[in-house]
Amino acid sequence: MSGSRPGRSRLGPVVSWAASVLSAARRAAGRLRRGGRRCLRAVRWWWSSRTESFRTVVRTLGLLVVTGAFSLALGVSTATASSPVGPHMATWSVTLDSTATLDLGPLGSASVDSPAGILGVEVVLGEIPAEADAGQGAVPVSTRALGEALSADGASYVSLASHPELTIDRGVRALVDDGLRRAGLIESIILCLVAAARLAAGGRLRDAVRAALTRDTASVLMTASAAVTVVALVVPALSTSTPRGARIPALEGTPWQDARLSGRIADVAQAYGPRVTEFLADSDAFYASARTNLETAWAASEDLEGVVDVTAAQGRVQDPQGVEAAAEAARTRALSTPAQRSTDPGAAPAEDEPAGTGTGSAAAAASPSGAGGSASPSPSPSPGRMTAPGATGPWAVRDQGRTTVVLTTDLHCNLEVITLAGVLDELAGADIHMDDGDLTMTGSEPEQLCVDALSRAVPPGVERVATIGNHDSASTAARLRAQGWTVTDGTVRRVGGLTVLGDVDADRSPAGGTYQRGGESAVQLGQRLAQTSCRSARSGTEVDVVLIHQPYTFGPLVADGCAPLLLAGHVHQERGMSVSEGGNGQVAQLVSGAGQGGVSLGQVTEDAYMHVLSFDAEGRVLAWRAVVLHPDASVTVGAWQPLPVAGGQAGGAQAQPTG
């Protein structure tokens, strides 16, 4: 007994301290409960003192916030959509396993960790669609058509490998759209049920719910339902299963380096990955060099006021001393003979004109009125509509230029050249981007990522107008319109500061052949557009530009002469600018494009042309210039060219590759 007393004496202070702590905790808890009750009474008093209308608004807003959040969560977590992957159509579904998975069927799968936390996505590949125009008078499928279709499929696979972000963005947008639609439907159903319950309760829904919750059965059912819902949503997210597949070292340095591949596709990636990696690396290096060369050549051309052609390679201007000398000579001639140049637009360039400017007419490019410029305005119903009064060429751009247009054509889904076109928009300060058709290769639904690429490349704030070429389809036009493009449709449209007319190409060229879309040939299409332009002019709205894919429509438009500028591509040749006398005035015609096969997958194999045009405040063209991407990644920014004399033709930049 006496031996245990010292232990009790040592524990005594501890027990006393614990008792005091518990007592303090009870007192604190009591104060909190009393404070909570006082706060609750204060809130109730405040709430009861509000007007009935105020309380109704707050309850309604609270209901909308809670049900909206629930509907959005449920809608997004169950979203599904159809969106292309490469040449395939595919089904996209939101999952809650924190993984993005591409299911390739018997070939295996590819997966990466989702950047969206708990939200993942499963993509299941479907079939490669047959020709969209089959059964509509299209050319029957032949071995040639099948070969071209398979080639286009191969290009789609490479585009997927090099730019997966385009496919991902489109698929995610489709899922978001479906999720929002589902959320809206769920929200509508919930609100309808609430309204019906309120009517059934005679306007006393809260009292009815409160009474129901006091019953044990109702409480148990609601608790069980909530538990089942939470388990269904949370358990998949807590899955600890090991993802299938492994990362492939051969894909290091590509957008797919973090993907885990399984099945036969992993073997394919292991075997052919080095080739794909090498191809993508070479393509990236080529277009990185091309972008640098474009920026270098453009900056040098701007410093020289655009009076001579400038070529850049490996990030440096080629023959800078010669370019400077040619520019100085052009300025000297323009300043020394302004009267002659303005009164004699057809004057030939001086004999001592420097060679190597690329156009063969530096004086023409630099003269106030432009050697080879337009003839005097004819006394027609639209006098002087083709060019602004006085000068054309670089000086006119400097003094009168108000609207800058970048023109592309026959891009044929080369995603890198499309990106370069967006860079040109930025450098030129484009007000309008015009695409003259054949943006795609066959116009198939999976190829609409080409439209997505161009829409992303064109800077925000730049107006956009496109015409549909023979390789494009109705789905191409629909995708363009959905992304904010004005698509020519046979009516006069106002785009930026210009009035534009055009229409869908008369022909359709899916894989393997070409056929006429409707009842009009190219010439008949031109006749209809000519009538539209003249009718619009008589009503007081003169057409500034006709944007049409095939130049074979030009004949009737030139004959009537109610539209002063015609733009076309299609021929895969740079034919430059020409001017003809039309029935109501002079008509300028610019026909352009890359060489056949020059704008395809990967690096260009022939010169690829883009153009920049400048217009005055009245919509009259002042000058034009060519921007040329060469097969060695060098870039030539052409001089601002005046319009040639009627019956004449002027070429754009013709500098040869430096390699």
Tell me whether residue 649 is exposed, middle or buried, using C-beta atoms within 10 angstroms of its C-beta: 0 to 12, 13 to 18, 19 or more: middle
Most confident of 94-103, 220-229, 381-390: 94-103
Percent of the residues in the chain that have a pLDDT greater than 90, as a whole number? 40
Q: What angle do CA 329, 331, 336 make, to 5 degrees?
A: 95
Higher pLDDT: 532 or 658? It is 532
- Give the residue from 303, 501, 545, 587 showing the smallest Cα distance to 403: 545
Distance separating alpha carbons of residues 388 and 394, to the nearest angstrom = 13
Which pLDDT does position 383 carry in this prediction? 40
H/E segment holding residue 71: helix 52-77
Q: Would the CA dihedral through 133, 134, 136, 137 be positive or negative?
A: positive
In this structure, are strands 403-408 and 432-435 parallel, antiparallel, or unpaired?
A: parallel
Q: Which contiguous run of DSSP H or E holds residue 611?
A: strand 608-615
Check the CA dihedral 7-8-14-18 and report its sign: positive
The H or E element spanning position 187 is helix 164-200
Q: What is the pLDDT of residue 637?
A: 96
State mean pLDDT over 31-49: 84
pLDDT band at 321 (very low <50, low <70, confident <90, very high): very high
Give the pLDDT score at 210: 65
Q: Tell me the pLDDT tens digit for each residue of 7-28.
A: 556 667 777 777 788 888 888 8
| CA-closest candidate to residue 570, choices 436, 420, 473 | 436
pLDDT at 345: 35
Closest CA to 98 of 289, 271, 197, 234: 234
Torsion of CA 67, 71, 77, 78, to 10 degrees: 140
Query: pLDDT digit string (tens) for 551-586?
Result: 999 999 999 999 999 999 999 888 889 999 888 889
Q: Which two tokens mark 176?
A: 């978001």
Neighbour count for residue 73 (Cβ, 10 Å): 14
Residue 470 has pLDDT above 80, yes or no: yes
Q: 596 φ, ψ to 5°?
A: -55, 120
Q: CA distances (Å), 281 to each of 168, 208, 276, 599, in order?
A: 21, 69, 8, 18
Amino acid, single-letter form, for residue 531 = Q
pLDDT at position 380 over 60: no
* pLDDT of amino acid 241: 56
- Identify residue 179 by its one-letter amino acid code: G
Task: Express as a percent the part of the chain with pLDDT over 70.
Answer: 80
Closest CA to 636 of 547, 546, 574, 553: 574
Show the beta-strand stretches assigned E in 248-378. 260-262, 310-313, 316-317
Q: Residue 423: which pLDDT band, with cuts at 50, 70 and 90?
A: very high
CB-based burial, 287-317: b 16+ in 10 Å, e otherwise? bebbbbbbbbbbebbeebbbbbbbbbbeeeb
pLDDT at site 148:
74
**CA separation for the pair 311, 320 (Å, rounded):** 9
Return d(Cα 292, Cα 303) in angstroms, integer.
17
The length of the chain is 659
Structure tokens at 411: 């891009």
Q: Position of tokens 């449709």?
A: 489
Residue 298 CA from chain centroid, whole number: 24
Residue that has been written with the tokens 């530096």 in this structure: 362
CA distance 358 to 135: 49
Reported as type and span, the H/E element at residue 243 is none
**CA 349 to CA 644: how far, in whole Å?**
13
| Cβ pair 386, 615 in contact under 8 A | no
Mean pLDDT of the region 453-482: 95
Mean pLDDT of 388-392: 51
- Which of 99, 645, 625, 102 has the alpha carbon at shortest distance from 404? 625
Please tell me which residue, 430 or 34, carries the higher pLDDT value.
430
SS3 380: coil
Distance (Å, whole) CA 201 – CA 418? 62
Q: Report the alpha-carbon angle 137-142-145, nearest 5.
A: 85
3-state secondary structure of 79: coil
pLDDT confidence of residue 366? 33
Ordered strands of the 585-591 beta sheet: 493-495, 498-502, 545-547, 565-568, 585-591, 576-582, 649-650
Going by pLDDT thresholds of 50, 70 and 90, the confidence category of residue 135 is very low
CA distance 220 to 473: 59
